[in-house]
Amino acid sequence: MKPLQVGLLGFGIVGRGTWEVLRRNAEEITRRAGRPIRIAAIATRSPERARDALAGANSVRLTADASAVVRDSDIDIVCELIGGIEPARSLILEALALGKHVVTANKALLAQHGTEIFAAAHARGVMVAFEAAVAGGVPIIKALREGLTANRIEWIAGIINGTSNFILSRMRETGASFETVLAEAQVLGFAESDPTYDVEGIDAAHKLAIMSAIAFGVPMRFDKAYAEGITRLTKEDLRYAEELGYRIKLLAITRRARNGIELRVHPTLIPAKRLIANVEGAMNAVLVKGDAVGSTLYYGAGAGAEPTASAVIADLVDVTRMHTADPEHRVPHLAFQPDQLTDLPFLPMGDVETSYYLRMRVDDRPGVLADITRILADREISIDAMIQKEPSEGEDQTDIILLTHKSVERSVDDAISRIEALPTVRGKVVRIRLEDLG
């Protein structure tokens, strides 16, 4: 049977991984897809250098013109691995307009322009596959779109940025500062020279917006996501969390609440007994709660050449299998039929209800704790656990650490501002959210 012809846009780490895995496992992939899948053309900024990586595969056309690959009439599937917004968005829309299927690993593009892209694909009756856009080699998109389709998804909580998880793991293991471990992560290749998207939670928010849309049948709304990173976390807070039986992770959470949908990324205390709290290093994990199946956990490598290539090629196989199928009988891009998406509101952080870790530096004298607990009680914030540290020798200040029961965030914000105004409280109150995930 004639191979399905793929045009590869981008030949970086993931592009080369895709080429290598597709070449190495060609026979197995063909048996699963029902016909061969062949990379026929590659667009890359350095065609001459790419030729060396192709191991003598001279039949592959190399070019610096990505649009020429998209327009090539022999190409059946366009595989976009360039990243970023432009020119990736324009190239994908051009491919869809020409009636070509698209495979992409571009989470930022889908989070910000997914609604436009999926509408264009639906209008032309072609597919956009994007398993590699979230959690690398972990097949979480397929699980949400297909495996859990009988369920009403209640919430998703994920460790979906390997860089931040590596940093937090090393800070906990070594007691080193954020700055020290970030420098180590950059040397080891776990962090970019500019790590902003990773350590500020933006990368995780892109991925979460995609999962939320699939889970709840809503449009992509990255603009509604709250993102808070790990740059202000200290080794002291990681140590205190351990004493209380928790681990701190950068957690991405989307939840179906009473008044709408939560969409948030931030450092979070998780009970150490939870499996997801024990995900270490650069690994990813996603916990999904469905009404019928209960909690299911998906774990694996969230980045890297071959783990991500695994997801890219899985999409290529899916597109190959469904290439000639009636568009109305394919799995919808966002799991729900396009005309069945709902415009549920997304909750602002002030309306979110969760538990909290509060750490404050206070004068070591009578009445301080009573003043703090009175402020909390006035706002109906109840205390679940408390540690009051002994002051160091010769010091007249100490740390108080409180864990609260579930409270509305705006009430906690108000309480923090009142506590910080007390003459016996020194500096700012550290606030970290807490999720039981039970």
345: in domain: no
Mean pLDDT of 191-197: 95
At 325 the pLDDT is 64
At 329 the pLDDT is 64
Number of domains within the chain? 3
Q: Which of 143, 136, 83, 149 is nearest to 111 (CA)?
A: 83
150: in domain: yes
Gap between the Cα atoms of 45 and 91, Å rounded: 15
At 117 the pLDDT is 96
Q: For residue range 371-388, list pLDDT tens digits in order.
A: 999 999 999 999 999 999
Q: For residue range 225-267, list pLDDT tens digits in order.
A: 999 999 999 999 999 999 999 999 999 999 999 999 999 999 9
* Same structural domain, 16 and 47: yes
* Same structural domain, 150 and 242: yes
Listed range (56-70, 78-92, 145-159, 344-358) with the worst mean pLDDT? 56-70
Read off the CATH number of the domain in which 361 is found: 3.30.70.260
Q: For residue range 69-89, list pLDDT tens digits in order.
A: 999 999 999 999 999 999 999
* Same structural domain, 276 and 313: no
At 330 the pLDDT is 75
Q: Domain of 240?
A: 140-300
* Same structural domain, 114 and 152: no
* Same structural domain, 290 and 147: yes
Q: For residue range 267-301, list pLDDT tens digits in order.
A: 999 999 999 999 999 999 999 999 999 999 999 99
The question of whether 207 is a catalytic residue gets the answer yes
* Same structural domain, 172 and 219: yes
Gap between the Cα atoms of 96 and 50, Å rounded: 26
* Same structural domain, 328 and 288: no
Read off the CATH number of the domain in which 55 is found: 3.40.50.720
pTM of this prediction? 0.94
* Same structural domain, 90 and 147: no
* Same structural domain, 358 and 413: yes
Per-residue HEC secondary structure of the chain comes to CCCEEEEEECCCHHHHHHHHHHHHCHHHHHHHHCCCEEEEEEECCCHHHHHHHCCCCCCCEEECCHHHHHHCCCCCEEEECCCCCCCHHHHHHHHHHCCCEEEECCHHHHHHHHHHHHHHHHHHCCCEECHHHCCCCCCHHHHHHHHCCCCCEEEEEEECCHHHHHHHHHHHHHCCCHHHHHHHHHHHCCCCCCCHHHHCCHHHHHHHHHHHHHHHCCCCCHHHCEECCCCCCCHHHHHHHHHCCEEEEEEEEEEECCCCEEEEEEEEEEECCCHHHHCCCCEEEEEEEECCCEEEEEEEECCCHHHHHHHHHHHHHHHHHHCCCCHHHCCCCCCCCHHHCCCCCECCHHHCEEEEEEEEEEECCCCHHHHHHHHHHHCCCCEEEEEECCCCCCCCEEEEEEEECCEEHHHHHHHHHHHHCCCCEEEEEEEEEECCCC
Instruction: Single out the catalytic residue among 100, 107, 142, 207.
Output: 207
244: in domain: yes
347: in domain: no
164: in domain: yes
Contact assessment for residue 41 and residue 109, using Cβ atoms and an 8 Å cutoff: no
Read off the CATH number of the domain in which 278 is found: 3.30.360.10
* Same structural domain, 261 and 369: no
* Same structural domain, 92 and 164: no
245: left (phi over 0), alpha (psi -120 to 50) or beta: left
Given a cut of 90, whether residue 341 has pLDDT beyond it is no
* Same structural domain, 150 and 287: yes
98: in domain: yes
258: in domain: yes
Listed range (50-54, 98-102, 331-335) with the worst mean pLDDT? 331-335
Q: Kindly state the percentage of the chain with pLDDT values over 70.
A: 98
77: in domain: yes
